[in-house]
Amino acid sequence: MTNHHDGSCLCGAVRFHTSGDLRGVVYCHCSQCRKQTGLYYAATDVSDADLRVEGGENLTWYAASDFARRGFCRVCGSALFWKRNGADKVSIMAGAFEAPSGLVADSHIFVADKGDFYTIDDGLPQYARSSAAVAVAGNDD
Ligand SMILES: [Zn+2]
Ligand SMILES: [Zn+2]
């Protein structure tokens, strides 16, 4: 199977398998991602059709806003997924993939909201809010 990747939460109660190309990793520094993780999101995404989840009954979906929800393991708390309402794809936390992930870093978004206790100096593009290439909420809605 080409472009197949596996991943899981920390405890293994939720496992996932993807096929197809994985988007470059986008780091989201918004306050919601910061609060949820303690730092920031690092996420790729895949179309719904390219994602298979095992143990989905162990996923809890939390709607931090009226435009998206966040899926995490209810056993160990690992953040795993972010899904915009009505979208046909889902973002997956890059760190949940087994190595080698083959993932490539892409850019930073919502840097205007980032925590004040770290700096971003990896040379990747930085966007104050979202980037046109990344379908997240907050461009202008
Ligand atoms: Zn877990
Ligand atoms: Zn965010």
Residue 36 lies in a domain: yes
CATH number of the domain enclosing 28: 2.170.150.70
CA of 58 to the centre of ligand 1 (A): 8
- Tell how far the Cα of 98 is from the centroid of ligand 2, in angstroms: 23
Task: Examine residue 125 and say whether the peptide bond preceding it is cis (omega within 30 degrees of 0).
Answer: no
**Average pLDDT in the 19-24 region?**
92
pLDDT of residue 26 exceeding 80: yes
pLDDT at 3 over 90: no
C-alpha to C-alpha distance for 77 and 15, rounded to whole angstroms: 14
Does the pLDDT at position 139 exceed 80?
A: no
Supply the pLDDT for residue 140: 37
pLDDT per residue over 62-105, tens digit each? 999 999 999 999 999 999 999 999 999 999 999 999 999 999 99
Strand order in the sheet with 68-73: 59-62, 68-73, 79-84, 89-93, 41-47, 25-28, 105-109
Q: 119: CA distance to ligand 2 center in Å?
A: 17
Q: Is it the case that residue 137 has pLDDT exceeding 60?
A: no
Residue 39 CA: which ligand is closest? 2
Between residues 31 and 130, which one has the greater pLDDT? 31
Residues 6+ apart with CB under 8 A from 82: 41, 43, 68, 69, 70, 71, 90, 91
Average pLDDT score over the chain: 93
Does residue 25 form part of some domain?
A: yes
Q: With bands split at pLDDT 50, 70 and 90, how would you rate the model's confidence at 131?
A: confident
Ligand nearest to the CA of 80: 1
Two tokens, residue 105: 């870093």
Ligand 2 centroid – CA 29 distance (Å): 5
Distance from Cα 9 to the centre of ligand 1, integer Å: 5
Closest ligand (CA of 71): 1
In the reported structure, the alpha carbon of residue 114 is separated from the centroid of ligand 2 by a whole-number distance in angstroms of 9
**Full domain range(s) for residue 13:** 5-113
On whether residue 99 sits in a domain, the answer given is yes
- 67 lies in some domain: yes
The number of folded domains in the chain is 1
The number of the ligand nearest the C-alpha atom of 59 reads 1
Q: Does residue 140 form part of some domain?
A: no
Look at strands 105-109 and 25-28 and give their pairing: parallel
Residue 123 lies in a domain: no
Task: Quote the pTM value.
Answer: 0.91
pLDDT tens digits, residue range 29-48? 999 999 999 999 999 999 99
